[in-house]
């Protein structure tokens, strides 16, 4: 059976442009013993992909090889199987890539409980939810009553961070790039305050929203929010650095704050990346499923249509043009 | 009995200038029950004093009040006593201040084992040694075989950090501000490499000295060393921020590095200040005494003479003009 896939053929210099990719038509191979044929239904687009395309050898995961199918996680249906762990008709999640079909040995592929909507899987149980949980609950040591600021709050990770923090009893302030996103954060997700960083006087708005200072800062963006929040950190504050999306598409990344406050306030700043924490995924998935079943985390999905829509669509993540978890419906 | 003391009468705006201080002549009071009269013999001068003089309310310890005797630690002899825990003739250590004599209730004052040279006490067992131990051993989780860089390596804290790290089996690289200091670090203290940051090509010299990258960076200075070391950090590297002496005497502190590498390399950056760790002091003093008795830590003292020499002399800490632990002999 013929299907389409997208290969990475060139590395980005600054922006992600269509010439980095090549759409190819492939033929599904005969299954070997132990293999399954997956038909992907929902493909996740995440900011981390920029790093996966880049030649940088300092990153936490090897880049996608040139000529290889672009890496991504997704939800798929098993349509043929020579592996009893993956019955035909099962819904699965895994690193499937930018492709309509994939043959897999089942390694790194998980069968999902029946009846889970694919968009909830990609938003809550997959990378965004796990990343939010790891950074906030396993690293930042949040305590009820403390004040948290999350940048990129309407993003797939940020929206989960804020909602988990609310579920855990923190005061939650988010920054986002449009009034519509801010209304969603406050009205639908229950953030105590959402600030449009493009139009607000950031220093004033943050100081007003956090009258007792900031105990935990969950950093997804960098940019002006970083400096403004840094000045409001309380003694013994914790900063979790998860993303710097404002600086991914520039070759002159903005400098960070001076380190004197790190001493005066005895701050801890920690970076992390999920590949260091795969062993905790089953436990974290359960925790996220629990919040979801309790109605404590909501999501919205921004769905593109068709494999090739990923090529241009991924840039929505860097312009802030997406409203909700970005994914491609196949 | 008449004695001299130095009061803080003005807060520094940028530099520490003589007009911030007033030398006063006081009279020792009659001892009350429980009190002791201390004759200070050695008074410590430390970079932290700049912060103690400053109005900044964000710091880890309240500033010295205007009109109060300037704060400092020192070694003293008990010359009169109405407190049996402090017999006449005992040598003690405590926060005695810029004064020749002091009446104390004994609170915060420790009796020292007999026979310890006062300069060793102030260099190894007092603030510098404790600070080095806390930051390196209790926070940075150093492992034998790892590579450590310490800035301000010839300073009172930096020289202890490097020697403790050597004792614990790390590869130790230090930066300092003169060739003489670098020779002392390599020839006397056993550093694997010392780099004169004023004359070396920092990036090249550090890369050559740390061919396997840097696992632990102990930051005492800020400035150009910070950015150069930051680029060499290994994955899961730890940065301990203890001092930023390059930025204390400027009103335009230099920006820090961009945070993208914090994610890519999953770095942890931690600031600390000793007042958070007083409860661990007895344990840490023992550990430092142990290194010292084993000949694993050496020191050199830069001794000024007479109380009033502190007023101009403290600036040696900010110009790098001191060679060794700065103290005043009274």
Interface touch A247/B261, C-beta < 8 Å: no
pLDDT digit string (tens) for A281-309?
Answer: 889 988 999 999 899 999 999 999 999 99
Say whether pLDDT at A16 is over 70: yes
Collect contacts of B54-58 with beta carbons under 8 A, ≥24 apart.
B54/B11, B54/B12, B55/B11, B56/A264, B58/A261, B58/A264, B58/A265
**Helices B156-167 & B281-293, crossing angle to 10 degrees?**
70
| Residue of chain B minimizing CA distance to A260 | B244
pLDDT in tens, A88-126: 999 999 999 999 999 999 988 989 888 789 999 999 988
pLDDT single digits (tens) A155-204: 999 999 999 999 999 999 999 999 999 999 999 999 999 999 999 999 99
Report the top-level CATH class of B127-275: alpha beta
**A31 pLDDT exceeds 80?**
yes
Provide the percentage of residues in chain B whose pLDDT is more than 70: 99
Q: Kindly report, residue by residue over A203-235, the tens digit of the pLDDT.
A: 999 999 999 999 999 999 999 999 999 999 999
User: Cα(A143)–Cα(A133) distance, rounded to whole angstroms?
Assistant: 14
- Look-up: residue for tokens 């810029």? B98
pLDDT at residue number A229: 98
Distances A257 to A35, A200, A253, B237 between C-alpha atoms, Å: 51, 21, 13, 19
**What pLDDT is attached to residue A59?**
66
- The DSSP output letter for A91 is E
Supply the pLDDT for residue A1: 87
The CB density around residue A263, as the number of other CB atoms within 10 Å, is 23
Question: In three state form, how does the secondary structure of B233-292 look?
Answer: EEEEEEEEECCCHHHHCCCCCCCECCCHHHHHCCCEEEECCHHHHHHHHHHHHHHHHHHH
Domain with CATH 3.40.50.720 in chain A: 127-275
Helix axes A281-293, A156-167, angle to 10 degrees: 70
> A13 pLDDT band (50/70/90 cuts)?
confident
Q: Rounded mean pLDDT of A237-261? A: 90
Instruction: Give the number of residues written for chain A.
Output: 330
Q: Comparing C-alpha atoms, which of B100, B105, B133 is closest to residue B27?
A: B100
Query: Cα–Cα distance between A315 and A298 in angstroms, integer?
Result: 24
Find out if CATH 3.40.50.1100 is the number for domain A2-116+300-329. Answer: no
Residue B85 DSSP label: T
Q: Check B60 against A235: CB less than 8 A apart.
A: yes
For A60, name the nearest residue in chain B, comparing CA atoms only. Answer: B264
- pLDDT value of position B58: 61
What residues in A contact B247, CB-CB < 8 Å?
A: 258, 260
From B166's Cα to the closest Cα of chain A, the distance in A is 25
Low-confidence ranges of chain B (pLDDT < 50): none
How crowded is residue B13: how many other Cβ atoms within 10 Å of its Cβ? 10
ipTM field: 0.89
- B306 backbone φψ class: left, alpha, beta (φ>0; ψ -120 to 50): left
What is the value of pTM for the model shown? 0.90
Is residue A320 pLDDT above 90, yes or no?
A: no
Distance (Å) of CA B306 to CA B40, B99, B322 = 11, 10, 16
Domain with CATH 3.90.180.10 in chain B: 2-115+300-329
- Over chain B, what is the mean pLDDT? 94
Q: Between chains, do B241 and A262 touch, taking CB under 8 Å as contact?
A: yes
What pLDDT is stored for residue A250 in this prediction? 78
Q: How many residues does chain B have?
A: 330
Concatenate the DSSP letters of all residues of A36-48 into one string.
EEEEEEEEE--TH
Q: How far does A231 lie from chain B, in Å, by closest CA?
A: 10
Q: Please tell me the CATH code under which domain B2-115+300-329 is placed.
A: 3.90.180.10
Give Cβ neighbours of residue B258 (< 8 Å, ≥ 6 apart).
A222, A244, A247, A253, A254, A255, A256
Mean pLDDT to the nearest integer, A49-55: 89
A262: nearest CB among B56, B257, B269: B269
pLDDT, tens digit, 9 for 90 and up, residues B182-192 = 999 999 999 99
Extended beta strands in chain B, E state: 2-8, 21-27, 36-44, 74-81, 91-94, 101-104, 110-111, 147-150, 171-176, 193-196, 214-219, 233-241, 268-271, 301-305, 325-329
Residue B313 at interface with chain A, using a CB cutoff of 8 Å: no
Query: Which of B263, B264, B267, B274 best probes binding to A when mutated, by most A CB atoms within 10 angstroms?
Result: B263
Would you call B229 an interface residue with chain A, using a CB distance cutoff of 8 Å?
Answer: no
At A206 the three-state DSSP class reads helix
Question: Does the beta-carbon distance from A258 to B256 stay under 8 Å?
Answer: yes
């Amino acid at each position: 059976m013929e299907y389409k896939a997208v290969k990475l053929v060139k590395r980005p210099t600054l922006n992600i442009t269509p010439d980095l990719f090549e759409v190819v038509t492939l033929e599904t191979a005969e299954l070997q013993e132990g293999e399954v044929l997956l038909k992907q239904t929902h493909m996740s687009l995440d900011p981390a992909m920029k790093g996966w395309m880049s030649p940088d050898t300092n990153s936490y995961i090897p880049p996608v090889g040139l000529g290889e199918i672009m890496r991504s996680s997704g939800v798929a249906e098993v349509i043929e199987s020579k592996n009893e762990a993956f019955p035909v008709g099962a819904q699965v999640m895994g690193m499937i890539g930018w492709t309509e079909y994939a043959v897999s040995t089942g390694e790194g592929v998980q069968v999902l409980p029946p009846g889970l909507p694919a968009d909830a899987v990609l938003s809550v149980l997959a990378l965004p939810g796990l990343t939010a949980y790891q950074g906030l609950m396993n690293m930042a040591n949040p305590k009820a009553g403390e004040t948290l600021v999350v940048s990129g709050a309407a993003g797939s990770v940020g929206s989960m961070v804020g909602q988990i923090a609310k579920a855990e009893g923190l005061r939650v302030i988010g920054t986002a790039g449009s009034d519509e996103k801010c209304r969603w954060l406050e009205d639908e997700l229950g953030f105590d305050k959402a600030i449009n960083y493009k139009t607000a006087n950031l220093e004033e708005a943050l100081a007003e929203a956090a009258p007792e200072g900031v105990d935990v800062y969950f950093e997804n963006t960098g940019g002006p929010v970083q400096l403004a929040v840094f000045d409001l950190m309380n003694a013994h504050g914790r900063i979790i650095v998860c993303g710097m999306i404002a600086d991914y598409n520039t070759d002159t990344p903005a400098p960070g704050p001076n380190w004197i406050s790190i001493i005066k306030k005895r701050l801890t700043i920690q970076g992390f990346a999920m590949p260091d924490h795969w062993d905790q995924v089953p436990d974290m998935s359960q925790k996220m499923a629990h919040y979801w079943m309790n109605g404590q985390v909501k999501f919205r999905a921004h769905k593109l249509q068709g494999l090739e829509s990923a090529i241009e669509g991924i840039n929505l993540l860097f312009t802030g043009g997406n409203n909700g978890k970005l994914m491609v419906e196949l």
